[in-house]
């Protein structure tokens, strides 16, 4: 039988969008002992210290890391992120985009400015991260975007949030097909409401209790619940392609 392909992260260059904290930060730290080379992206000066701490943690755990600041809603900044990865490590093997923004309010109260900002972060940035990843990743690479389990929900109040995440599913299907022949997989992970600072500002005590009650253990999704699935897609899960995985304890199904 032929030798089993190497599906490890050793010496793989992994660009993580939004890696200063929460899911992106934990993923960076978790893949460090595998010998990954991590590009820790962060958006603004307020995240710089946390991004540098993430990079330090990666190095202490056995990986390599570099930080890079950029506004992913600007295409030139997306290109610069990948330029930095290639300049520092010589290549890009994997891209994981965890960056996103949430808003919860009735459609009748949503402003044009809020609409434009949400689609810039959740749709435009995701699209051009995927576009640039497709240009830069090595054959056999992996491209993963974090979306939301609300894509499978019948609910109000999240129209512009879930609506701005929904196009990413089609982006993923289209790009995965376009990259046939290069052995590059393109997938999404759709977590349930996650127990992070990203979640709570948009919610009330009652809605938090409702979200918790909708999962099998009566709790929110933890970032520690999601990282193993990202790692799987980056390694042994390479045969999954063009898919959205709803990792949410039964919060929604499809």
pLDDT digits (tens, 9 = 90+) for 45-81: 999 999 999 999 999 999 999 999 999 999 999 999 9
Confidence of residue 3 (pLDDT cuts 50, 70, 90): very low
8 Å CB contact between 160 and 118: yes
Give the per-residue SS3 of the chain. Answer: CCCCCCCCCCCCEEEEECCCCHHHHHHHHHHHHHCCEEEEEECCHHHHHHHHHHHHHHHHCCCEEEEEECCCCCHHHHHHHHHHHHHHHCCEEEEEECCCCCCCCCHHHCCHHHHHHHHHHHHHHHHHHHHHHHHHEEEEEEEEEECCHHHHCCCCCCHHHHHHHCHHHHHHHHHHHHCCCCCCEEEEEEECCECCCCCHHHCCHHHHHHHHHCCCCCCCECHHHHHHHHHHHHCCCCCCCCCEEEECCCCCCC
- Delineate the domains of the chain, giving CATH numbers in brackets: 13-246 (3.40.50.720)
**Per-residue pLDDT at 2 exceeds 60:** no
pLDDT for residue 133: 98
**Per-residue pLDDT at 118 exceeds 50:** yes
Can you tell me the mean pLDDT for 16-27?
97
Question: Which one is predicted more confidently, 6 or 198?
Answer: 198
Confidence of residue 235 (pLDDT cuts 50, 70, 90): very high
8 Å CB contact between 33 and 45: no
> What is the percent of the chain where pLDDT is above 70?
98
Q: Which residues are catalytic?
A: 161
pLDDT digits (tens, 9 = 90+) for 203-215: 999 999 999 999 9
pLDDT for residue 5: 54
Can you tell me the mean pLDDT for 101-118?
97
Average pLDDT, the chain: 96
Predicted TM-score (pTM) above 0.85: yes
End-to-end CA distance of the chain: 38
Confidence of residue 1 (pLDDT cuts 50, 70, 90): very low
8 Å CB contact between 184 and 216: no
pLDDT digits (tens, 9 = 90+) for 140-154: 999 999 999 999 999
Confidence of residue 202 (pLDDT cuts 50, 70, 90): confident
**Per-residue pLDDT at 195 exceeds 60:** yes
Dihedral, CA of residue 57, residue 147, residue 92 and residue 50, to nearest 10: -20
């Amino acid at each position: 039988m032929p030798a089993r392909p190497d599906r490890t992260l050793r010496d793989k260059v992994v660009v993580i969008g939004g890696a200063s904290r929460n899911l992106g930060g934990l993923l960076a730290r978790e893949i460090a002992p595998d010998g990954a080379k991590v590009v820790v992206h962060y958006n603004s000066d307020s995240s710089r210290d946390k991004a540098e701490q993430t990079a330090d943690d990666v190095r202490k755990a056995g990986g390599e890391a570099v930080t890079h600041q950029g506004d992913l809603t600007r295409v030139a900044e997306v290109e610069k992120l990948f330029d930095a990865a290639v300049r520092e490590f010589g290549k890009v093997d994997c891209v994981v985009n965890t960056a996103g923004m949430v808003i919860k309010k009735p459609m009748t109260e949503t402003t044009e400015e809020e609409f434009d900002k949400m689609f810039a972060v959740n749709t435009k940035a995701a699209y051009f991260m995927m576009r640039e990843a497709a240009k830069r990743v090595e054959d056999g690479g992996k491209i993963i975007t974090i979306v939301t389990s609300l894509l499978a929900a019948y609910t109000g109040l999240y129209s512009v949030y879930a609506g701005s995440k929904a196009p990413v599913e089609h982006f993923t299907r289209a790009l995965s097909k376009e990259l046939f022949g290069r052995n590059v997989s393109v997938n999404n992970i759709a977590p349930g409401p996650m127990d992070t600072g990203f979640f709570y500002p948009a919610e009330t005590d009652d809605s938090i209790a409702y979200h918790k009650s909708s999962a099998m253990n009566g709790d929110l999704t933890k970032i520690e619940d999601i990282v193993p699935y990202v790692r799987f897609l980056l390694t042994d899960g390479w045969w999954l392609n063009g898919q959205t995985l709803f990792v949410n304890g039964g919060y929604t199904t499809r």
